[in-house]
Every structure is written in structure tokens, then in C-alpha cells.
Amino acid sequence: MKVVGITTQQEVYIGSKDRNFRINEFLIITDSYQGDLMGEVVEAEAYNKYIPLSMHGELADSSVIESLKAIGYNVEEDTIYIAKVRLLNEALYPVEAGSDVRIPEFDEVKDLMIRSSVDEGLVLGVIKSTDQMAKGMDEEYKDLLYTFEDGQLKSQNEIPYIYNIKSMHQYPHVGVFGGSGSGKSFGLRVVLEELMNLNIPTIVLDPHFEMDFSEIEDYMPKDKAVIYDDKFKCLQVGFHVGVKFQDLSTQDIKNLLDASSPLTDAMNNVVDILFKRNDSYNSFHNRLKMLVEAQEEGSLDRISRRIEESNSNLEREGWQKRKELYLNYDKICPYSSVRGILWRLNRLNNEGIFSKDIKEIEEGLHMGKLIVIQGSTRILQVFSTYLVNNLYHKRREYKDALYKKVTADYFPPFIVVTDEAHNFAPKGYDCPSKSILKEISQEGRKYGVFLILATQRPTLLDETITAQLNTKFIFRTVRGSDIQTIKEETDITEEEARRLPYLKTGDVFVSESAMGRTIFARIRAANTTSPHTENPFDELKNKTEEDDNKFLEIIKDKLPINGDDFINVIKEIESETGLTYPLDLFEEKLNDLVDKGMIEKQKTPFFNVYR
């Protein structure tokens, strides 16, 4: 390997007759005047000046190359390999052409590649094209992980990529970008596993119900399995966790109501007027409901008539109350807006959001757990706004109190993680979850609150937030506009940007402000698996099989079943299992089992017998 051609202080070409180069490989140039210069391969090509191109620029027919080989000349041996190498640090003078080039030893690249100890960082994967240097690596960096490539588990033979989580203090927040199927969610899973290893309090917003860590990945060797059961908790909004209505401020309630689609000015006004401090859900709801009912009567006269015509005291008091509301608010709270608020409130309530609180989440964070909040995107938008605001301010109060030297309850630093982040912080329009995420992106560093935001569409993510993401993991990206955004928002080079559409699933460029250059890595094999990575078609098949087996189980000890005796069998089943089968469904299911060869059907002169 030698430096060839014209060189500059930043870039050189290296040629070799027998060694192919790999992109992102590190090489050391021994310049006789300037000493050792370290560089990274940014482009690699194999070149054969004799393998001709046809007049149309295609490769010429291979039969000619074969023929030439037959008369003794192997053109392929004339292939030379050329690498464009960018120096990590600009040289003082252009590099001496003809300088020798060698592969660095581990110690020479250690500081460039390893930025954190194994115990204190996130061991996320391997740095690609480092296998040769990895040979001389200290034991502590070996055998930390597996990768999963081409359907196989592979042991680690490259230098590990360890994300220095402590650097977040200076360079906060992480973005995870990549197109569909590029490995974002998988990468996020690995990040979360590592956060659990370090017991870092974390909130995960999980609209896909995929961030469960109780299933061990099949490919993991049994003795290497890591159990995360007591390190995380999956909580569903409305079922395990919710909002405590009494704690809500007017702003909170507006945020909640506003989260799915923006409130009109009139609606905002209605909340300002009708929501009272210390309202319970019921008191607020009743106030709205009665006002609406009064407004539906249409006039004071008709409400008065209702009062007169009331049959009971209770009813009369009710209408009395409605009249009062009507008198106080009808003018300033238009009917349609009041109705709109009531409708939204009902909907939130039906989703169970007001039936629980966030105590379990807070406790989890205090214990250094990873809390996965699950729910539909819409409900998560609503709930996360409230939740993140709440937790962030607790942490902030604590830190501010410390600063002012007054006492306050301890609240730990924490990380907020979300997939589909563009739904929570969209570019171009406002939504409540965006304001809090924006605030954290700008100020969170001071309080030890950090974001990890993943999205398929960086272009749709709020640009103020994007600009605050100091570390970016960039997986395969095909869409031109997203590549453009990525180029603007990271320090990836032109050459790297050109490779983005072709990255393998799970391969990633890591652009860290802390590093000042991009690392090309492969995310390690996750220890756990998402509960529904099952192929949807396998899922269908499994589901029917499961159903069939269940049904067979139920009827097994009823066999043989006579065709004229269905009624009695169904009754028996009903009393034993509580399951009721309509007659024709029952027969259909039996025939289905016959078709599948699970039971037999015999025809008799009078009826069929199933056995």
C-alpha cells in the first residue's frame, strides 16, 4: 500500500496491487517528513484498466476475457485497488506521494474509537472495518456482544462501539433516524437494554406496543441470556396509569383536550371560564353537561317551564342549577364550543385516562427502572404531555431548590425515549407535547433530563429540536428530502450521504458532536425480542391452529358425537366452560376439524357420527 497520485493536506489516494480496501477503514501513512498520519478510507474502488467497457459503457463480453485467459493472460490480475483517504487531522504539508501505508495497531486508534469504559457506557455494537486492529485489543473489550448478520449470530471480532452516556451532560440528546425497516426500533431496543443495565431512569413512549423486554431472543445462547424482568415495567394508559384530575391546572386540562387536534379560541375560553380550581372530573363534567342541556332548551322561558313542570325536588333542583349556569355563561360560552369541550372530555374519560394516576411511574423512576408507556399514538400524545411536563417540573423544582439551598423532595434525572417522534414534535404546527419536548431539548441538559427521539421522517421533526440532538444515529435512508435534512443537521460527509440508501439493516452512521466525526457501526444483536416480530401470516396460521386445538380440547372427551345430539353436547360444554356455540357454528367447526384430519366423520343412515 502506497500513497499515489496528487495529494493534498486533507486527502490522499492510496493504491495497492493485492489488498482491497474497505470503506471506513483506518490507515496510517508514514510520511517521511511529517511522521505518521492517520486517515480513514472514504471511498474504495477496484480498477482494472484492461477490462474494457463496450462502446455503450457496459462491461465487455466476458467470453473475450475468458479466451484471453485461455491463451495465458489473466486480465483480472491487473486489478488495482484504490482508496480515497481523508486525514483525521489536516497535515501541515501535502502528504508525500509514495509514502508507505500500514494498518494501525489497536493502541494507536484506541482513543479515537473507545470513548467510555465498558461499565459506564452503552455497548451498542461494533465499529465496522476494525477487525484487524481489534486483534491487539485489551481483553476487557473482547467478547462483549454478538452481532446478528445474514441470519446468523456472529461473535465479536471488531472494536466495540460504546456510546459515552456521560457525554450527554455536555452534548445532550440523541436522534435515531432511518427509513422503514432500517433497524431503528431494533437499535432503540438495544439502547434501552443498555440503559436498563445501567439502571438509568427512563420513560419510553411506545405507540407500537413493541418495547417489551420479557422475551429472550431465540438466537441468543441460553447461558448468555440477560433477564430484564425486574428492570422495566410496561404500563398502559387508562389501564395502569392515568391522570389525577384534581392535580390538573387549567393549562394541563387545555393541553389534554388540545392534544389530538387544536382547541379553538372559543373553546379555550370555555375552559378558562368553566374549569375551577379543585374541580373533580365529575364536577367539571357536570357543569359542562348541565350548561349544554340548558342551552339545548334554547331560552330562559323554556328552562323556567322545566322547573315548574318538575315532578320531584331533585329534578327541580337540577333545572334550577341549569338555569343559573345558563344565566351566568350562555352569553360568553357559545353552545358549539361547550359541546366540543364536553365531547372531548367524554372521550378522554372513556379511554380511562382519569381513572388512574402516575404514581407507579414515579416510583419506577426512583428505582432506576425503565418505564414503558403504551397506548395509541393519540392517547400517548395526550398523556405524555401531562406526564413529561409533570416529571420534568418535579426534577426542575428539585434542582432549583438545591441551587437555592432549600429543601425539596428528591427526583432523579431521567431520559425520555420515543419512536415516531415526529408525531410528538411535528414541524410546522404547534401541539402541547411539542412544547414540553422543545423545552427539554433546550434546557433539559441543566436538569439532567435527556431525549432520545427516533423517527422515520427527520424532515417532519421540529427543526429546533433536531438542532439540539447532539448525537445522531442514521440508519438506511432512501428519501431524498430526508437525506438532505440529515446532511444539514449532521457532520456526515458527501460520500457518506451517498451511501445512506444502501446501508444494510442494522448498520448505522453515528454522528456525535462529542467526536467531531462520524463512526460507521453495526448495532449488536438484541438480547430480547419484541412481542410481535412474528410475521403476520405466521401469526394468522398460529392463531387458527391455536383455536383448533382449543376446540379439540373442549370436545375431546365428548367424542364420539352423534349428529342428532348436538344440542345436548353444546349444553354440556356451556355448563362446563361457559362457552356457547350456536348450532350451525358448532357443526361447521366439527367439519373443519374433519377437513384438517383431526377427527373423523362417519356417515350412518340417520346421522353423521364424529369420532
Ligand X SMILES: Nc1ncnc2c1ncn2[C@@H]1O[C@H](COP(=O)(O)OP(=O)(O)OP(=O)(O)O)[C@@H](O)[C@H]1O
458 interacts with ligand X by CB under 6 A: no
Q: Edge-to-edge strand order for the sheet containing 202-206?
A: 160-163, 122-127, 517-523, 507-512, 471-474, 174-177, 449-455, 414-418, 202-206, 370-374, 232-236
- Grid cell locating 582: 350456536
Query: Residue 182 or 485: which CB sits closer to Mg ion?
Result: 182
Cα dist from 472 to 11, 174, 295, whole Å: 25, 6, 54
Q: How far is the CB of 189 from ligand X (least distance, A)?
A: 8
Nearer to other proteins, 50 or 343 (CB): 50
Return the closest-CA partner of residue 205 out of 326, 21, 402, 377: 377
Phi, psi of 344 (to 5 degrees): -65, -40
Strand, coil or helix: 196 = helix
Q: What distance in Å separates the CA atoms of residue 457 and residue 467, rounded to the nearest whole number?
A: 15
DSSP 282-321: HHHHHHHHHHHHHHHH-SHHHHHHHHHH-SSHHHHHHHHH
* Of 97 and 594, CB closest to other proteins: 97
Strand partners, 455: 177
Per CB under 8 A, which of residues 107..146 are in contact with other proteins?
none
Binding residue (CB under 8 A) for other proteins from 33, 47, 50, 239: 50
Least CB distance from residue 325 to ligand X, whole Å?
49
Choosing from 39, 104, 183, 364, the residue that interacts with ligand X (CB under 6 A) is: 183
Report which residue type is found at 588: E
6/406 with CB nearer other proteins: 6
Please, are residues 254 and 263 in contact by the beta-carbon 8 Å criterion?
A: yes
Q: To the nearest whole angstrom, how small is the minimum distance from the Cβ of residue 109 to ligand X?
A: 23
Among 54, 278, 312, 313, binds other proteins (CB under 8 A): 54
Distance CA 439, CA 443 (A): 6
- Please calculate the CA angle 413-417-422 and round it to the nearest 5 degrees: 135
Applying CB under 8 A, does 4 fall inside the site for other proteins?
no
Q: Which residue lies nearer to ligand X by CB, 534 or 576?
A: 534
x-marked contacts with ligand X along 486-505 as a string, rule CB under 6 A:
-------------------x
Q: Using the rule CB under 8 A, is 60 a contact of other proteins? A: yes
Instruction: Rule CB under 6 A: say whether 167 interacts with ligand X.
Output: no
Q: Determine, following the binding rule CB under 6 A, whether residue 8 of this chain makes contact with ligand X.
A: no
Q: What are phi and psi of 313, to 5 degrees?
A: -60, -40
CA 387, 390, 396, 398 torsion-angle sign: negative
Spell out where 513-590 has E strands: 517-523, 561-562
Rounded distance, CA 286 to CA 10, Å?
72
What are 36's strand-pairing partners?
30
Stretch that binds ligand X, among 177-185, 309-317, 344-352, 354-362 (CB under 6 A): 177-185
- Min separation Cβ 46 and other proteins, Å: 17
> Closest separation between CB of residue 538 and ligand X, Å?
13
Give the burial class of 79: count Cβ atoms within 10 A of its Cβ; 0-12 exposed, 13-18 middle, 19 or more buried. middle
Kindly state the cell numbers that stand for 440.
427539554
308 binds other proteins (CB under 8 A): no
Coil vs helix vs strand at 492 = coil
Residue 407 and residue 15: Cα distance in Å, rounded?
A: 67
Taking CB within 5 to 8 Å according to partner kind, which of other proteins, Mg ion, ligand X, none is near residue 574? none
# residues contacting ligand X (CB under 6 A): 15
Is residue 148 involved in binding ligand X (CB under 6 A)? yes
Give the CB-nearest residue to Mg ion: 185
If the CB atoms of residues 73 and 343 are measured against other proteins, the closer one turns out to be 73
Please give the residue ranges that form the binding site for Mg ion (CB under 5 A): 185
The answer to whether 259 contacts ligand X (rule: CB under 6 A) is no
477 binds ligand X (CB under 6 A): no
State which residue, 456 or 511, has the beta carbon closest to ligand X.
456
Helices 377-404 and 359-366, axial angle in degrees (round to 10): 50
The residue nearest ligand X at its CB is 506
Is residue 184 involved in binding ligand X (CB under 6 A)? yes
Grid cell, residue 15, equals: 493504491
Helix axis angle, 377-404 to 250-258, nearest 10°: 150
Phi–psi pair at 341, nearest 5 degrees? -65, -45
Q: Binding of ligand X at residue 98 (CB under 6 A)?
A: no
Check binding of 33 to other proteins (CB under 8 A): no
Q: In terms of CB distance, is 185 or 433 closer to Mg ion?
A: 185
Label each residue of 384-440 as H, E or C.
HHHHHHHHHHHHHHHHHHHHHCCCCCCCCCEEEEECCHHHCCECCCCCHHHHHHHHH
Choices 45-53, 93-101, 413-421, 541-549 (CB under 8 A): range interacting with other proteins:
45-53
With CB under 5 to 8 Å by kind, the binding choice for 72 among ligand X, Mg ion, other proteins, none is other proteins
Smallest distance from the beta carbon of 13 to ligand X, in angstroms? 33
Q: If contact means CB under 5 to 8 A according to the sort of partner, which of Mg ion, other proteins, ligand X, none does residue 182 touch? A: ligand X
468 binds ligand X (CB under 6 A): no
Q: Which does 311 bind (CB under 5 to 8 A by kind): Mg ion, other proteins, ligand X, none?
A: none
Least distance CB 29 / other proteins (angstroms): 23
Residues 63-92, interacting with other proteins (CB under 8 A): 63-68, 70-75, 77
Q: Does 155 bind ligand X (CB under 6 A)?
A: no
Cell representation of residue 560: 364420539
Decide: is 406 part of the binding site for other proteins (CB under 8 A).
no
- Binding of other proteins at residue 607 (CB under 8 A)? no
Interaction between residue 61 and other proteins (CB under 8 A): yes
Options 381, 433, 456, 527; binder of ligand X; rule CB under 6 A: 456
Site for ligand X in 510-529 (CB under 6 A): 523, 525
**Paired sense of beta strands 471-474 and 80-87, if any:** unpaired
* Residue partners of 76: CB distance under 8 A and separation at least 6: 48, 51, 65
Among 7, 24, 185, 441, binds ligand X (CB under 6 A): 185
**Least distance CB 17 / other proteins (angstroms):** 12
What is the maximal distance between C-alpha atoms in the chain?
Answer: 115
Q: Which does 533 bind (CB under 5 to 8 A by kind): other proteins, ligand X, Mg ion, none?
A: ligand X
> Could you tell me whether strands 160-163 and 122-127 are parallel, antiparallel, or unpaired per DSSP bridges?
antiparallel
Residues at the contact surface with ligand X, assessed by CB under 6 A: 148, 178, 180-186, 456, 505-506, 523, 525, 533
Residues at the contact surface with other proteins, assessed by CB under 8 A: 49-50, 52, 54-56, 58, 60-61, 63-68, 70-75, 77
